Amino acid sequence: MREYVRGMDGSGDIRVIVIGAGMSGILSAVKLRERGITDVVIYEKADRLGGTWRENTYPGIACDVPSHAYCYSFALNPNWSQHFAPGDEIQAYFEGVAREFEVDGLIRFGQEIVRAEWADGAWTVETSDGATDRAQILIGATGVLHHPSYPDIPGLDSFAGASFHSARWDHSVELEGKRVGVIGTGSTAVQITSALIDVVDRFSLFQRTAQWVLPVPNPGYTDEERAAYTADPDGLRILHDDLGQRMTNLVATALIDSESPAMARIEEQCRENLSQVVDPELRMKLSPDYRAACKRLIMSPDFYEKVQSPNLDLVTAGLERIEPTGVRTSDGVLHEIDVLVLATGFQVDRFLRPMEVVGVNGQTLDEAWTPRPLAYLAISVPGFPNLFMLNGPNGPVGNFSLIEIAERQFEYIAQLIDEVRAGRCEGLAPNAGATEAYEQSRVEAAKQTIWMTGCRSWYLDDRGIPATWPWTFDRFRDEMAAPKLEAFDRF
């Protein structure tokens, strides 16, 4: 067996490189050191940690998972201000966890990994400034929602006013009293609408597809409640676990069975919520022609109230082109605006890309992911030893709290790392047979989910198959409990 790349910190243990200092990267560093692996480095392309919550700072941004469920199990937070925390509060939470667990000192900011190659029992990575590093284990914690998707609309570059993607919000642009146009009606656009409608002079919301909206109130926590959570850690733990269980029982279980009673209840709530729109013409425009939750379900306490504001125009005509003074729609109308916001989502199939990743026998990840990304249990890819992803391809991105998902995935990965640390192999990667069998069963199960009931959404791959976990949370928990080592090739 070849000699390991021993830890540069003098531990004599293996070295681990983590790509990305968002939620999953911070988690990885904490958990690796908890297991005694001290030689850990995190490469982060930006100048701050935080991932999605660093990138997205648009007005009204908040999580659609309850605050006390959207936090690490080892770092519960008694001080959330609201039931669904705003983005800046979540960003501050991750920064605080990084400081508390001394993760921030492991991060190399402003260093984007552009290439990684497996050779001689280890990964060699190269950064954008030409530096190299080497480690036995490479963990991809790159997230899903960080490569903005820009619409292909003629004349987009011709707009004379301020224009930006929602994930690249320009806070220097004054919005008060302005005419603002937002393209898109997903979760981001809904949150922006609620936040800005009372600030701007006119608000044009360009809707391609109507969305179902689940009414979810977002009250604040009182000082007394926060003090009680601080004084009772056990009670806070119970709240965290209870919220996770309720999400699983009420939402996640419904999504994987389109004919379930739980799904019927969700649809009824959405229809009742829509009924509060008084004007029948506006209500018709806002009525989807597909089942609730076929697209990612939007949660909002007040969207239907705000969309009825007299200074809001819901535009449903197709977008013909962008002109210097506004948006021209297919009915010939020019909608004049001062600021254009593209709330058009993300390229959700990028994962580690555009990084060049080279595995066994020179195969690249781009080649392995042609025609589409896949990974055994959303974690690892045949022919790429010791490359492990958190929230990788076809994982439970639409079902549960991504933090809980990442925590369980990491425990699975840690057991694979233990095989390498123990000297039983230099590397592990799933074999092609196990991966193919898993993917076939996943595709068949996905056909029974609500995501396959007749809509277009970012969940669907190029075949129209939902690129997500199609089973229960109990099955996911069981799969993550321990790797089936017979499914892996040893190197």
- Choose one of 307, 326, 342: the last residue of a domain: 342
Residues 378 and 430 reside in one and the same domain: yes
Give a yes or no: residue 239 inside a domain.
no
Q: Is the pLDDT of residue 441 over 90?
A: yes
Residues 37 and 71 reside in one and the same domain: yes
Q: What is the mean pLDDT of residues 312-321?
A: 98
Residues 6 or more apart whose Cβ sits within 8 Å of residue 217: 83, 301
Residue tagged 């903005």 (tokens)? 148
pTM over 0.85: yes
**132-141 tens-digit pLDDT:** 999 999 999 9
**32-46, 318-332, 388-402, 431-445: least confident range:** 388-402
Report the number of distinct structural domains present in the chain: 2
**273-287, 341-355, 389-403: least confident range:** 389-403
Residues 64 and 24 reside in one and the same domain: yes
Residue 434's pLDDT is 98
Higher-pLDDT residue of 399 and 218 is: 218
Residues 297 and 371 reside in one and the same domain: no
**154-208 tens-digit pLDDT:** 999 999 999 999 999 999 999 999 999 999 999 999 999 999 999 999 999 999 9
Q: What is the mean pLDDT of residues 111-128?
A: 98
What range defines the domain where residue 127 resides?
16-147+347-490
Residues 316 and 177 reside in one and the same domain: yes
Residue 7's pLDDT is 57
Residues 463 and 412 reside in one and the same domain: yes
Q: Is the pLDDT of residue 11 over 70?
A: no
Average pLDDT across the chain, whole number: 95
Residues 202 and 275 reside in one and the same domain: yes
Give a yes or no: residue 228 inside a domain.
no
Q: What is the mean pLDDT of residues 28-33?
A: 98
Query: Which residues lie across from 349 on neighbouring strands?
Result: none
Q: What is the mean pLDDT of residues 459-476?
A: 94
Q: Is the pLDDT of residue 483 over 50?
A: yes
Residues 416 and 391 reside in one and the same domain: yes
How would residue 6 be classed by pLDDT, with cut points 50, 70 and 90?
A: low
Give a yes or no: residue 9 inside a domain.
no
3-class secondary structure for the chain? CCCCCECCCCCCCECEEEECCCHHHHHHHHHHHHCCCCCEEEEECCCCCCCHHHHCCCCCCECCCCCCCCCCCCCCCCCCCECCCEHHHHHHHHHHHHHHCCCHHHEEECCCEEEEEEECCEEEEEECCCCEEEECEEEECCCCCCCECCCCCCCHHHCCCEEEEHHHCCCCCCCCCCEEEEECCCHHHHHHHHHHCCCCCEEEEECCCCCCEEECCCCECCHHHHHHHHHCHHHHHHHHHHHHHHHHHHHHHHHCCCCCHHHHHHHHHHHHHHCCCCCHHHHHHCCCCCCCCCCCCEEECCHHHHCCCCCEEEECCCEEEEECCEEEECCCCEEECCEEEECCCECCCCCCCCCEEECHHHCEHHHHCCCCCCCECCCECCCCCCEEECCCCCCCCCCCCHHHHHHHHHHHHHHHHHHHHCCCCCCEEECHHHHHHHHHHHHHHHCCCHHHCCCCCCCECCCCCECCCCCCHHHHHHHHHCCCHHHEEEC
Residues 204 and 328 reside in one and the same domain: yes
Residue 164's pLDDT is 98
Residues 381 and 436 reside in one and the same domain: yes
Q: Are strands 107-109 and 40-44 parallel, antiparallel or unpaired?
A: parallel
Give a yes or no: residue 43 inside a domain.
yes
Residue 400's pLDDT is 76
Residues 330 and 317 reside in one and the same domain: yes
Cβ neighbours around 208 below 10 Å, total: 15
Give a yes or no: residue 312 inside a domain.
yes
Letter string b/e over residues 50-89, b meaning 16 or more CB atoms within 10 A of that residue's CB: bbbbbbbbbbbbbbebbbbbbbbeebebbebeebbbbbeb
Residue 10's pLDDT is 54
How would residue 397 be classed by pLDDT, with cut points 50, 70 and 90?
A: confident
Residue 236's pLDDT is 98
- Choose one of 342, 377, 401: the last residue of a domain: 342
Q: What is the mean pLDDT of residues 118-133?
A: 97
Q: Is the pLDDT of residue 2 over 50?
A: no
How would residue 1 be classed by pLDDT, with cut points 50, 70 and 90?
A: very low
- CA quadruple 108, 112, 118, 119: dihedral positive or negative? negative
Residues 337 and 383 reside in one and the same domain: no
Residue 399's pLDDT is 63
Q: What is the CATH number of the domain that holds 124?
A: 3.50.50.60
Give a yes or no: residue 57 inside a domain.
yes
List the structure tokens of 216.
């979810």
Half-sphere exposure of 294 (CA within 13 A, CB side): 17
Give a yes or no: residue 4 inside a domain.
no
- Choose one of 317, 342, 367: the last residue of a domain: 342
Q: Is the pLDDT of residue 45 over 70?
A: yes
Cβ neighbours around 308 below 10 Å, total: 17
Give a yes or no: residue 232 inside a domain.
no
Residue tagged 């898993």 (tokens)? 438
